[in-house]
Structure 1
Amino acid sequence: MTIPAGVEIIDCMMGIPERENRSDWYAAFRPLIRDRQSLEEFAMPAQYMFKDIPELEAVDDFLTWTLAQMDRHGIAKALVAWRGSETCHRVLERCRDRFLFDLPCNPNAGLDEVRRIRRVHAEVGLSSISVFPAGTYPQVAINHKYMFPLYTVAAELGLPINLTVGVPGPRIPFETQKVEHLDEICWFFPELTVVMRHGGEPWEDLAVKLMLKYPNLYYATSAFAPKHYPKSIVDFANTRGGDKILYAGYFPMGLSLDRIFRELPEVPFRDEVWRKFLSGNARKVYRIAD
């Protein structure tokens, strides 16, 4: 298989490191981790699942480093987390055309979080918000009442919400991320766009069924190397779901771009699917202007 030439690439989940240590990315749910190996040995909490986690080089400017990685692999734009950091503000000043902002949210914060979403969106122009339900502390399920204010404000602002679904990689409970919880949300909020992240395993067949059922539900391939994309997702993209599956790379949190783009051409997508998968669906979901 080959990727058609000249196809634009938009990465729907990328990180810009702030320093060589990744610990800041996982601090929010560290209190949930109990096993000694995760606490004392792992550079990232799902390390046992990834064979080639990218090493973060000792560089003076991680923004320039990230842009160089994107340019090397032909990535036009990437969705990254807005953390209000110096690096995020430098993105605004230097290369806003290359990055879209997603705001990671905490449903436990109640109306304060709703106010923060509105404020940050007014200040920087968000493309989405996101929640890692198993990584909230205390954990909050996808269909828990604490999530409903976030769904409401996202729908009002026209922002998609990215939700991690399926058994989480870190050794923490998965009840909050069962794919079945999405049924109630997509039904109750038909104007809300929901993007599933991180695979949905072992309920990927249910994820496909729900995408067929609800026009506002999508799937991003984050945290999966291309050779491990679930077969049901690839089959869905090649049949009735060509408009539903988005490319997300998970660099540098767990996967290198070198590995992703080495394996990506082997994914058996049909020719007409590639352009939608790599950028067309992202432009629609995240409302990216041409």
Structure 2
Amino acid sequence: MNELNEPARSPVDTATIDAWMQQPTERFMRQRWLESLRRWGTAPDTAPALEATLAAMDEAGVAKGLLSAWHGPTGSLISNEEVAEIVEAHPGRFSGIATVDLTDPMGAVRDIRHWVGERGFVGVRVMPWLWNLPPNDRRYYPVYVACVELGVPFCTQIGHTGPLCPSEPGRPIPYLDEVLLDFPELTVVGGHVGYPWMAEVLSLARKYPGFHVDTSAYALHRLPPELAEFARGGGRGKVLFGSNYPMLTPAACLEGLPSLGLDDEARALFLHGNARRVFGV
């Protein structure tokens, strides 16, 4: 009990939406760029079973996870088809985030129209560090047009990379700044917080109505203090919870939720309200 004789609040909110999850394949887990994450103890050696993923969600009160497909220069790592199978088997627990092949622009547009427009996926994610292409590269632009046409967010990674790949493509300015100027109707969710370029991240979040940040890959007690302050105040409608499971479990991320000092409105927006609005789930 606290000094007002009110029950202590649990960090578990059973309506939570995890904005960034993976159900990895073994070919994903074999990627050499995961070696640094394994050294840090934040990447499993093998892909978890789907039952383990659901149990991890239940432990943290995650009602829905947004599952990402992955495609890179070497080919598919987690295919849209593999994500769709999981979503169709557990439609109440998961929604799909599509991926595309940047070397095939018309194929990328057709894929987005199929997986979003026909199969109900709720966003598109591309990893700039995986391609070593910043998001203002011309190869992304057909993807942005398709996202705007279908009314779904473009999800990407911002900040340094934990995997053994260059970090520069994740720098927010000038790369995302130019994209958001060119596509004022585009909604963008920058995942993995954006450290060490926090001033650039927050400047974009204040400048562009369509730019949002998710906290994936961070336990909440380790969030940069300026992002926590933003989520408490004027940026409460701009910050979404994400875990980056299985690199971190939702429960491990949410242990630090009380330390953010969110009021009831900001807490609800962070855990699920912003994701419901941005992804339409």
TM-score band (shorter)?
A: 0.7 to 0.9
2:54 maps to 1:24: no
Residues 1:159 and 1:24: Cα distance change in structure 2 (over 3 Å):
same
Counterpart contact for 1:129–1:162, Cα < 8 Å: yes
- CA displacement, residues 235-263 of structure 1 (integer Å, 9 cap, x when unaligned): 111111000000001111x1133422333
Instruction: Give aligned pairs, total.
Output: 264
Extract unaligned runs of 5+ from structure 2.
1-7, 70-78
Residue of structure 2 in register with 1:51 after alignment: 41
Deviation at 1:272, TM superposition (A): 2.5
C-alpha distance in structure 2 between counterparts of 1:86 and 1:131, whole Å: 17
Report if the CA contact (8 A) 2:189-2:213 is conserved: yes
Matches of 1:122 and 1:194, distance apart in 2: 18
Give 1:159's aligned residue: 152
Cα 1:54–1:171, aligned 2, differ >3 Å: closer, same or farther? closer
Structure 1 residues 116, 280: closer, same or farther in 2, change over 3 A? same
Q: 1:150 aligns with which of 117, 122, 143?
A: 143
Match of 1:228 in 2: 222
1:209 offset after TM fit, Å? 1.1
Q: 2:271 aligned with 1:284, yes or no? A: no
Q: Which position in structure 2 is the counterpart of 1:170? A: 163
TM-aligned CA deviation for residue 269 of structure 1 = 2.5
1:99 matched to 2:94: yes
> SS in structure 1 opposite 2:103?
helix
Alignment equivalent of 2:207, drawn from 208, 213, 231: 213
For the 8 Å contact 2:12–2:61, the answer to whether it is kept is no
- Is the Cα contact below 8 Å between 2:13 and 2:62 reproduced in 1? no
> In the alignment, is the contact (CA less than 8 A) between 1:141 and 1:176 conserved in 2?
yes
Distance 1:147-1:63 versus aligned 2 partners, 3 A rule: same
Q: 2:66 aligns to what SS in structure 1?
A: strand
Aligned residue among 226, 233, 236 for 1:239: 233
Question: Would the alpha carbon gap of residues 111 and 86 (structure 1) be closer, same or farther in structure 2, given more than 3 Å must change?
Answer: closer
Identify the range of structure 1 (221-230 vs 165-174) with the bigger mean alpha-carbon deviation: 165-174
Are the structure 2 counterparts of residues 239 and 109 from structure 1 closer, same or farther at C-alpha, using a change threshold of 3 Å?
Answer: same
Change (3 A) 1:194 1:26: farther
**C-alpha distance in 1, partners of 2:261/2:118?**
41
Match of 1:187 among 181, 192, 196: 181
Q: TM-score under structure 1 normalisation?
A: 0.82
Distance 1:184 1:172 in 2: 23
Distance across 1 between alignment mates of 2:169 and 2:271: 29
TM-score with structure 2 setting the length: 0.85
Alpha-carbon deviation of 1:226? 1.4
Q: Secondary structure at the match of 1:233?
A: helix
Question: Once the 2 structures are TM-superposed, how far is the Cα of residue 160 of structure 1 from its aligned partner?
Answer: 0.2
* 1:81 alignment partner, one of 48, 68, 80: 68
- What does residue 8 of structure 1 align with? 15
Deviations 1:144-164 (A, max 9, x none): 111111111111111100111
Mapped pair 1:108 → 2:108: no
Aligned CA RMSD, in angstroms, stands at 2.4
| Alpha-carbon shift at residue 52 of structure 1 (Å) | 4.6
In structure 1, C-alpha distance between the alignment counterparts of 2:242 and 2:157, rounded to whole Å: 13
Please report how far the alpha carbon of residue 280 of structure 1 lies from its aligned counterpart in structure 2 after TM superposition: 0.2
Residue in structure 1 matched with residue 197 of structure 2 by the alignment = 203
- The one-letter code sitting in structure 2 at the alignment partner of 1:113 is A
SS of aligned partner of 1:46: helix
Structure 1: gaps (5+ residues): 31-37, 39-43
Letter in structure 2 aligned against 1:69: A
Shift of 1:168: 1.3
For residues 185 and 239 of structure 2, what CA distance do their matches in structure 1 show?
Answer: 19
